[in-house]
Amino acid sequence: MPASLCGTWDIISNTNFEGYMVALGISPNLRKIALKLKQKKVIELKGEQYIIKTTSSFRNYTTRFNVGQEFEEFTKGLDNRRLKSLVTWKGNKLVCEQTGEKNNRGWAHWIEDDKLHLDLYCDGEVCSQVFKKKGCE
Ligand code: ECB
């Protein structure tokens, strides 16, 4: 049973977010704004459904899914694409494969040293984010 991802998390590092956004085709102006944001994650599990909220002072993004059940994702306010997404556990990682216009797109979440990790990938670019649990130093 993997460590729980649930909770409220504050970002402490965001490596190659620029490269990931370039791969998604985000405009230079929007990238400049997005790079300065302090992202937060709120992860909840209600029954069988995961709810992952990414929040910031500029835009928020929420996704809801059940592990093992493909769903249609619309990346509203991000790159505004329609994807077919499937989340599964691969060992201790919660892995999402996002099928659509972009190749090799998805993300993986896991816990390491009490930190929440997230790799976001698209077309060979990987953005690695680390979050610390809110209220714990
Ligand atoms: C929502 C906060 C960031 C807002 C950035 C605004 C504009 C930039 C446009 C596109 C950048 C691409 C992605 C933004 C990075 C993180 C948002 C959520 C990424 C994601 O797929 O998270 C997963 C895994 O936690 C759950 O949706």
Candidate CATH numbers 3.50.50.60, 2.60.120.10, 2.40.128.20, 3.90.226.10; the one for domain 7-132 = 2.40.128.20
Q: Please count the other Cβ atoms lying within 10 Å of the Cβ belonging to residue 93.
A: 15
pLDDT at residue 1 above 80? no
Residue nearest to atom 9 of ligand 1 (CA): 78
Q: What's residue 62's pLDDT?
A: 98
Phi then psi for residue 24, to 5 deg, are -80, -10
| CA separation, residue 51 to residues 5, 24, 103 (Å) | 11, 23, 25
Q: Is the pLDDT of residue 94 over 50?
A: yes
* The model's pTM: 0.96
Which residues' Cβ are closer than 6 Å to ligand 1?
A: 21, 24, 26, 30, 34, 37, 39, 41, 52, 54, 56, 58-61, 63, 78-79, 107, 118, 120
Q: What share of the chain has pLDDT > 90, as a percent?
A: 94
In this prediction the ipTM stands at: 0.98
What's the pLDDT band for 8 if we cut at 50, 70, 90? very high
Q: Compute CA 63 distance to the chain's CA centroid, rounded to the nearest angstrom.
A: 9
Residue 110 has pLDDT above 80, yes or no: yes
